[in-house]
Amino acid sequence: MPELPEVEVVRAGLEPAVRGALISSVDVRDERALTRHTGGAAHFEAELTGRRIAAAVRRGKFLWMPVADDEAIVTHLGMSGQMLLRVPGAPEERHERIRIELEHPDHGPLSVVFADQRTFGSLAIDELVDTPDGAAGGRGSDLARVPTQVAHIGRDPLDPAFSAKRFRARLARTSSGIKRVLLDQTAASGIGNIYADESLWAARIHPETAASALPTRAVNRLLGEVQAVLEKALAEGGTSFDAQYVNVNGQAGYFAHSLNAYGRTGQPCPRCGRPIVRVSFMNRSSHFCPHCQRLR
């Protein structure tokens, strides 16, 4: 599933194309892409036609485009969703679900295509509500509002309004393993399996270490590594293992070449040379170095 860097790459690519653009038409080609929308395809098309997009905004793994002070198009990429920019009249994409035609005041006509092979992703029109802390809802806009579908998740570690103090307090009162907490989107959003493994490896922390057992210094070190890993992945366009994870132009990221733990089962740890191990974890896997990341 795309994590923060992959979704931010998509947001940054969409932003100059959609900000200020008028929606001239909407074509829902597969209603399964509207599973989080309360109306049907006809409602989605009619409500958006003629609206103007204010920005492209992201919090964690969610992306949204405000079309008014109180409404936005919310996008969740699911496991294989893609938001692609195309010239008008471009051939239909493989697994294309929705096409939105835009008229941009500077760039002219453009098409935004939502394609999704596994159909777990979705678009929806959602209400915007005030943020509890009064800070911007997400990256890409100063508006202190967030869609109701996104309001339940925490701020991500790259958000200027992210509270390290609040995060440390959350860890102090839970005995769950630290990786489980990192994957909890209400604690800190945007971190998935890949970047949790990479951050824990960098911080030399075993994924099953009880969160409450971590001293403040270790938590601060982990937060620093989380931010560093996410920033590096973002600079490298995210992690792409196949053609499903691409930017708005269909290009893959290359952070997979920088991975130190995730997906490197049996390969030597880049730090100590001992083999990386893989263990079952929450219907997924954890990858770590048992020598560098000892369970204490």
Distances (CA, A) of 221 to 180, 199, 228, 233: 18, 10, 11, 18
Cα radius of gyration rounded to whole Å, the chain: 20
Is residue 20 exposed (0-12), middle (13-18) or buried (19+ Cβ within 10 Å)?
middle
**Any residues with CB less than 8 A from the CB of 130 and at least 6 apart, and which?**
144, 145
Alpha-carbon distance 266 to 285, whole Å?
A: 14
Q: Per the annotation, where are the binding residues for DNA?
A: 95, 118
- Three-state secondary structure call for residue 78: coil
Alpha-carbon distance 48 to 46, whole Å?
A: 6
Spatial CA neighbour of 19 closest among 86, 116, 112, 82: 112
For 276-292, give the DSSP string. Answer: BEEEEETTEEEEE-TTT
Distances (CA, A) of 143 to 14, 149, 278: 18, 16, 42
**Any residues with CB less than 8 A from the CB of 215 and at least 6 apart, and which?**
none
- Residue position matching structure tokens 């690519």: 13
Please identify every residue annotated as catalytic: 2-3, 61, 284
Is the distance from CB of 287 to CB of 265 less than 8 angstroms? Answer: yes
Report CA dihedral (233, 236, 241, 246) to the nearest 10 degrees: 110
Q: What residue type is assigned to position 76 of the chain?
A: H
